[in-house]
């Protein structure tokens, strides 16, 4: 790993190292927005626990197994070295970020948005997005704890990245007793 201290624009997290695979330094990556094919088009990423502590790492190859993405970095040659990357984010400069269509957004665009119901009642703040097989789940922090909201169109009615708000139509009982 080499330090990347050059000045750069805003960084965008495109994934996180979830776990190691095998003994030759390969890692499984949880992608935030890119398909396996899109990772194959990237020759390097910035890797770190935060934007402030990244190192540039060249990608040797990308493979898939089902829907899972595995990356082998050039300077990571064994399991011990790859284990040190678990929990580290993969960043790209905003200019290299994938282009999205209308109504689409990146995970880091919606983290921290205020969540409202259809009656404009504040429910909480979106703090995480967890990927499950069927659909993503939005984790909304409320005064009474975290609530998991299915990220489906029938529930998530509007996301306004500019206004930092999300309007949802939660199933009855999902936010019962919550007063954000």
Non-local (6+) Cβ contacts of 136 within 8 A are 129, 130, 151
The phi-psi region of residue 161 (left if phi > 0; otherwise alpha if psi is between -120 and 50; otherwise beta) is: alpha
Within a domain: 176: no
- DSSP lists the bridge partners of residue 73 as 59
The tokens of 66 are what? Answer: 């089902």
Q: What pLDDT, in 10s, does the model give residues 110-142?
A: 889 999 999 999 999 998 888 776 788 999 999
Within a domain: 173: no
Domain check: are 7 and 81 in the same one?
A: yes
Domain check: are 67 and 12 in the same one?
A: yes
Phi, psi of 51 (to 5 degrees): -60, -25
Within a domain: 157: yes
| First-residue to last-residue Cα distance in the chain | 43
Residue 6's domain comprises 2-96
Give the total number of structural domains in the chain: 2
More confident residue, 180 or 46: 46
pLDDT above 70: residue 178: no
**pTM to 2 decimals?**
0.59
Domain check: are 33 and 74 in the same one?
A: yes
Q: What pLDDT, in 10s, does the model give residues 149-174?
A: 999 999 999 999 889 999 999 999 89
Domain check: are 152 and 83 in the same one?
A: no
Within a domain: 111: yes
Residue 105 to residues 102, 122, 162: CA-CA distances in angstroms?
9, 22, 11
HSE of 58, CA atoms in CB hemisphere, 13 A: 5
Domain check: are 87 and 144 in the same one?
A: no
pLDDT above 70: residue 9: no
DSSP annotation of 94 reads G
Domain check: are 124 and 40 in the same one?
A: no
Torsion sign, CA atoms 137, 42, 85, 73 = positive
The pLDDT of residue 102: 78
More confident residue, 98 or 66: 66
Domain check: are 11 and 92 in the same one?
A: yes
Using an 8 Å Cβ cutoff, are 45 and 88 in contact?
no
What's the rounded mean pLDDT across residues 56-82? 91
96, 129, 152: which is the final residue of a domain? 96
Within a domain: 64: yes
Non-local (6+) Cβ contacts of 17 within 8 A are 27, 28, 29, 30, 47, 82, 85, 86, 87, 88, 89, 90
């Amino acid at each position: 790993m080499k330090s990347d201290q050059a000045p750069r624009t805003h960084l965008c997290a495109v994934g996180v190292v979830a776990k190691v695979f095998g003994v030759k330094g390969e890692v499984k990556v949880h992608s935030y927005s890119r398909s396996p094919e899109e990772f194959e088009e990237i020759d390097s990423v910035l890797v770190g626990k935060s934007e402030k502590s990244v190192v540039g790492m060249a990608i040797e190859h990308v493979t898939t197994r089902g829907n899972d993405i595995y990356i082998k970095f050039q300077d990571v040659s064994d399991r011990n070295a790859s284990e040190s990357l678990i929990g580290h984010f993969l960043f790209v400069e905003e200019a290299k970020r994938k282009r999205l269509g209308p109504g689409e957004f990146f995970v880091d665009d919606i983290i921290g948005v205020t969540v409202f119901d259809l009656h404009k009642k504040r429910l909480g703040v979106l703090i995480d997005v967890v990927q499950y097989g069927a659909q993503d789940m939005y984790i909304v922090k409320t005064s009474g704890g975290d609530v998991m909201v299915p990220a489906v169109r029938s529930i998530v009615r509007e996301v306004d990245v500019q206004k930092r708000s999300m309007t949802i139509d939660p199933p009855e009982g999902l936010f019962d007793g919550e007063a954000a």
